[in-house]
Amino acid sequence: YISNDGTPFLSWVEYLDDTTDALYFSRLEDGHWGAPSEIARGSNWFVNWADFPSLSGFNGGTEKLAGHWLAMAGEGTYDYDVQIATSPDGGKTWQEPFIPHQDGIQAEHGFVTLLPAGNNRMFAVWLDGRNTKASESAGHGHGHGAMSLRAGFFSDKGEMLDEQEVDGRVCDCCQTDAVLIPDGLIVAYRDRSEEEIRDIFVARWVNGQWQAPMKVQEDNWKISGCPVNGPALASREDQVALAWYTAARDTPKVLLAFSHDSGAHFDTPLRLDGGKPLGRVDVSWIDEQRLAVSWMEEVGEEAEARIAVIDKHGPNTQKTIVLVRNSKARSSGFPILEAMGNDELLAAWTQADSTGTTVKTAIVNLK
C-alpha cells in the first residue's frame, strides 16, 4: 500500500514460535524501512503462501489504517474467517478485530482485497465459502455449493456498512483485486463455470449498484482444480489495466489488457511472458502513458521475477527487467509492485531458499 502522500507501507507475517504468528508492518521513510509495528498475533491463524494478509489506509491516508488476516474457525483445513482490525493513530493501537462476512458458517473465507473508498470507508472483497457448507448440510453430497464472491464497505470504526454477493460461482482459491474508477470501482477475479472454464471476469460497482459480471476474454481455460493464480488491476481515472495468467490449451501465458472506459470494455490483450510463465502477476501505472507488470517466469530449476514496462499506446514492451532469481516453489510467493513516481518502482517479494524465507524489497529505477 502507498498512501496519497507517497508513503509506502509493507506488511508481512512472522512465525514467532511453533504456535504463534504475528502480522507486522513498516513504513518506508527517507529510503529506509522503519521499525516493525505489530498489528496482531494469534495461535489459530491460517497462514498460506497465496492467501496472505494486507494493510491499507482510509482515504488514502497514513493515520487511519486497516489490516486483515485469517484465523481458523472450525475443524476443517479450510474453515477460516477473515479478521479485520482498524487503527485510528497510524498503527500505534489497533481496535478489536471484526469479521466482515455475516454468515457464521465454518467455511473458507479469504483472498481479500482492501481498497480505500473515501468518506472514511474501506471497500473489501473476498472469496466466501458459505454456500459450499450449506450444500453439504442439505445432503447434496459431492454436489457442493460453489465458492462465491462477496463484497462490502466498512467504516474506520470497524463497522460493516453493507455486504452482498457479487458473483455466486467463482474459482476457489485465486486472488481478487479491486481499483477505483471515476464513478465507482471495479473488481477482478477468476470465474468458474459449470463446465470448469476458469477465465478472468470483472464486476463493476457503478453509482452505488453492482453491474452484471463480465468475462474479459474467451481464454476458455478448462481445468478441474484451482490454479491459485489471480488477476491484478491498476487504474488511472478511466484507464484500467488488467493483467492475468492463463494456461488454456496447455499454453501458459501472461496477458495484459487495457480499458479506456472504466472497465466496461477491454482491448485485445498483449502477451508479455517469455514462454514459460508461472503467473503470479501484479500491475501498476508508472505515469499517464506507461505501466509496469510483474510475473514469475520459470528458468531451469528456478524462476525469475520479471517486470515489463509497457506503453498503453504501443503494442511493444519497452523493456523487460529481471528483478531477482528465486525458487519456483510456492514458498516464493507473489511479488508485489507499486509505482512511486519519478520513474521508480517499489517491488516486494518473498525470497525462498534452503534456509527458509525472507521478505525482500527493492527500488527499481526506470531512467
Per the prediction, the chain carries an average pLDDT of 95
Tally Cβ neighbours within 10 Å of residue 218. 9
Q: C-alpha distances in angstroms, 312 versus 242, 285, 317? A: 12, 10, 10
DSSP assigned state of 98: B
Confidence of residue 130 (pLDDT cuts 50, 70, 90): very high
Q: CA 141, 142, 147 angle in degrees (round to 5)?
A: 110
Tens digit of each residue's pLDDT (9 = 90 or more) over 243-257: 999 999 999 999 999
Tens digit of each residue's pLDDT (9 = 90 or more) over 263-306: 999 999 999 999 999 999 999 999 999 999 999 999 999 999 99
pTM of the entire predicted model:
0.96
> Per-residue pLDDT for 366 more than 80?
yes
> Per-residue pLDDT for 164 more than 50?
yes
User: What share of the chain in percent tops pLDDT 70?
Assistant: 97
Contact 14, 24 (CB under 8 A): yes
Cell of 97: 478485530
Phi, psi of 332 (to 5 degrees): -80, -5
- Measured in whole angstroms, how far is the alpha carbon of residue 85 from the centre of its chain? 18
> Per-residue pLDDT for 140 more than 60?
no
* Distance in angstroms (rounded) separating the CA atoms of residues 216 and 266: 7
Kindly state the average pLDDT of the residues 345-358: 95
Q: Is 130 helix (H, G, I), strand (E, B) or coil?
A: helix
Torsion of Cα atoms, 166 then 169 then 175 then 180, to 10°: -20
> Per-residue pLDDT for 315 more than 70?
no
Domain boundaries, the chain: 1-169
Instruction: Select 1-169's CATH number: 3.30.70.20, 2.120.10.10, 1.10.390.10, 1.10.357.140.
Output: 2.120.10.10
Kindly state the average pLDDT of the residues 346-363: 95
Per-residue 3-state assignment (H helix, E strand, C coil) for 221-273: CECCCCCCCCCEEEEECCEEEEEEEECHHHCCEEEEEEECCCCCCCCCCEECC
